[in-house]
Amino acid sequence: MKRKVLIIGIGAGNPDYVTIQAVNALNQVDVFFIPDKGVEKEQLSRIRREICERFIRDHEYRMVDFETPVRHKPSSTYRSSVEDWHDKVEATYAHLLMEELGDDECGAFLVWGDPSLYDSTLRILDRLNAKGGFELEYDVIPGISSIQALTAKHKVVLNRIGESITITTGRKLEEGFPNNSESIVVMLDGEGAFRNIKEDVDIYWGAYVGTEDEILLSGRLRDVVDEIERLRNVARERKGWIMDTYLLKRTGEK
The 10s digit of each residue's pLDDT in 220-231 is: 999 999 999 999
- Name the burial class of residue 73, with classes exposed (0-12), middle (13-18) and buried (19+) by CB atoms within 10 angstroms of its CB: exposed
Contacts of 140 by beta carbon, 8 Å cutoff, 6+ apart: 6, 7, 9, 115, 116, 122
Q: What is the pLDDT of residue 76?
A: 63
Beta bridge partners of 31: 62, 107
The β-bridge relationship of strands 135-141 and 2-9 is parallel
Residue 219, pLDDT > 80, answer: yes
Cα 125 off chain centre by: 17
Question: 232 and 242 in contact (C-beta within 8 Å)?
Answer: yes
Is residue 165 a contact partner of residue 185, using CB atoms and an 8 Å limit?
yes
Confidence of residue 14 (pLDDT cuts 50, 70, 90): very high
User: With bands split at pLDDT 50, 70 and 90, how would you rate the model's confidence at 173?
Assistant: very high
